[in-house]
Amino acid sequence: MEGRQWYKEMAVYHIWPRSFCDGNGDGIGDLWGVLQKLDYIKSLHVDAIWFSPLYPSPNADFGYDISDYMDIHPDYGTLEVFQQLLEEAHKRGLRVFMDLVVNHSSDEHPWFQESRKGPESPYYDYYYWRPGHVGLTGRRHPPNNWTSLFEGGAWEYDEQRDEYYLHLFARKQPDLNMDNPKVREEVKRIMRFWLDMGVDGFREDVITFISKAPGLPNAYPKLPAANGLRHYSNRPAAYEYLKEFKRDVLDHYDCFTVGESPMTTPEIALRYVTEGPDQVLDEMIAFSHMEADCFLTDMVQRPFSLVKMKKAFSDWQNKLQGKAWNALYLENHDHARIISRYGSEEHHTESGKMLAAMYLLQRGTPFVYQGQEIGMLNLRLPSVDLYEDVMTKNGARIASRILPKSRVLKLIQQTSRDSARTPMQWTDGENAGFSTAKPWFFVNENYRQINVQAQEADPDSLLNFYRKLLKFRKEQPLVLYGTYREYRPKDKHFYTYERSYEGKKLLVICSFSAEALRWDAPEEIDLNQGTLVFSNYDMNFVIANGFTTRPYELRVYLFA
C-alpha cells in the first residue's frame, strides 16, 4: 500500500469566488463572503478549500486570464484580506489551495505588453511569437493550422509587433513560452510567493499543455476542433518542467499539487503521479468520466451511457491502485450541474444522494464544488446571448453552423459552464441570500426550493447527506485505503462496486434508472450479513438476496 500522506485523507471544497458569497454588497462574490462562510465549509467535514483564480484579471475567461500573479482581484478583496482568510481557515483546520494558471496569462499582463515591443524587450520571447507566412495570393497566413479550444484559430495577429501570437484558449489568453528558462523562473517565483504566505498547494490548470512541439508544426489530418492537440498535450518536456518546479520549489514545502490534464488516460497520468522518486504531481484530474454523455467536449452531446461512465471510473481506480492516488469529482467550474446531467431533476434528492455516494466512496481525494452539496441545477436562460462564458459563446457559434437556433439554445442550456457559475443559493430570500445588491449574473429561479437554509433544517436533506458521507469517509480506513472491485461492468442500469480492507468490505449499489428494476446480489455476497449504512429511501427490505429498486435508489452495505 502507498504511504499515508495527509492529502489522501482529506476532502476539498472548490470555490468559484465570483459566485460564492458577496460580503461587501456589490453583487460580486468575494473573500469577505468566504470569511463569513468558513464555519459552514468546515461543517461539511472537508479539510481544504481550492479557490478558482482570485488574481487580478480582465475576466475574458473569468480569472483564468491573469494580469498579475501576485495580487488579489479588487472585486474579491486585497492581499491583507486573503491573509486574514488564510489565518482563519488554518485556525479551523482548513488548508487553502490556489489555482496556478501558467500555460497562459492575460494579454493585459505586463509581460505580454512588454513582449509586444519586439527584440529589444527582455520579455521578447516570454510568449510564442511567429511572423506567419505569405501565400501565393500575397495574403498573410498564421504560422500553422492549429485551432483554439475557445475562439477560432490558435493565432492572433498583433499590429504593434507585426507578428502572430499563440493562444490555445481565448484571444486574450496568450500562451507562455515555458521553453524559456526565464519563464520557468517566473513560475517558481509565483509558487514561492504564495507558499511563503502560507498557502498549502496548487491546482495546476491545463498543466500538461505547457510544452509545445519544436517548430510548432501543422497538424494532420486537420480536425474541426482542438486541431494540433498532439503537438502540445503531454509533451515530454512538460514532465521535465514539472520535475524542475518540484525539485526547486515544491520539495521545500509541505504542500499538495493536483494537475488538470484534458484528454489524459490513466497510463499517461501515471507518468506524473506514480509514487516514488520520479513523481512530479500528487494527483491528476481526469475528464473521462465526464464524457459519458458527450464526445471529447460537453458540447458534442450523446445519450448518457452508464457503461461508459463506469468504465472510466474503474479504469482510473484499477490502473492507479497500488501505484498512485486518484482525484475524485463530479462537478467543478468547467461543467454543467451533475444532477441535470447524470441524475434526475424530477428525483432531485434521491439522485443527488446516489451520485454523491457513487463517487465519494471510491478511492481517492474527493472534491466537492460549491452548490453541489445542495443539488444546484442547470440554468436555462431564454436566449444564448444572455450567457456570459467565452467557451459557451464559442460552442454556440460553432453549433449555429449546423443546427437551428432552437437546438443551439437547448444545447447551451444543457452544457454551458455558466450553469456551475450561478450565485450560490443560501436562502429563499432576495437574491438567494447571495448578495444584498443585484448579483453579477442570473440566480437560478429554483432558489426558493433549493437552498442551504432549507436543507440545514431538514435532517434528511442532500446537504446533511453529504455531511454524513464525508464524515463516514474520514472515519473509515476501508473507504480511504481499501481496494476497489466493480461488479457487472456491462450492466446498463446499476453501478455496483466493492471496497475491501483488512477483513472489512463495503458494497455500493447505485441505480441510474427511474424504473422499478430487480437487483440481485453477486453469488459470493449475502446481503443479510451486511449492515445498511447509507440509503436514500426508508423501508429497505431484502428479498431473496436482492431487492426491487425505487427511482435512483442507493444502498451501501458494510460487512465487518
- 10 Å CB burial of residue 187 (0-12, 13-18, 19+) is buried
Q: Is the dihedral of CA 140, 143, 144, 147 positive or negative?
A: negative
Q: 22 catalytic, yes or no?
A: no
Paired residues of 369 in beta bridges: 14
DSSP strand pairing (327-328 vs 297-301): unpaired
Helix axes 236-248, 266-273, angle to 10 degrees: 30
- Pick the catalytic residue: 30, 61, 186, 205? 205
Instruction: Quote the cell numbers at residue 385.
Output: 446571448
Q: What is the dihedral of CA 433, 435, 437, 439, to 10 degrees?
A: -100
Instruction: Quote the cell numbers at residue 115.
Output: 513582449
Instruction: Quote the cell numbers at residue 368.
Output: 466537492
Max CA separation in the chain (angstroms) = 80
> Which 8-state DSSP code applies to residue 420?
G
Residue 318 CB-half CA count within 13 A: 12
User: Distance between CA atoms of 171 and 150, rounded to whole angstroms?
Assistant: 8
- 10 Å CB burial of residue 160 (0-12, 13-18, 19+) is exposed
List all residues 6 or more positions away from 199 whose beta carbon is below 8 Å from its beta carbon: 86, 96, 97, 98, 255
User: Distance between CA atoms of 61 and 38, rounded to whole angstroms?
Assistant: 26
For residue 145, give the amino acid letter.
N
DSSP strand pairing (294-295 vs 494-501): unpaired
Closest C-alpha among 332, 334, 386, 395 to residue 148: 395
Closest C-alpha among 492, 219, 510, 505 to residue 351: 510
- Pick the catalytic residue: 65, 99, 107, 260? 260
Closest C-alpha among 472, 513, 480 to residue 499: 480
List all residues 6 or more positions away from 358 whose beta carbon is below 8 Å from its beta carbon: 495, 508, 510, 554
- 10 Å CB burial of residue 401 (0-12, 13-18, 19+) is exposed
DSSP reduced 3-state for 458: coil
List all residues 6 or more positions away from 55 whose beta carbon is below 8 Å from its beta carbon: 63, 66, 67, 68, 69, 71, 72, 73
Spell 489-523 as b/e; 16+ CB within 10 A means b. eebebbbbbbbebeeebbbbbbbbbeeebebebee
User: Distance between CA atoms of 417 and 396, rounded to whole angstroms?
Assistant: 12
Q: 260 catalytic, yes or no?
A: yes
Task: Note the Cα 131 to chain centre separation in Å.
Answer: 36
Q: Which active-site residues does the annotation give?
A: 205, 260
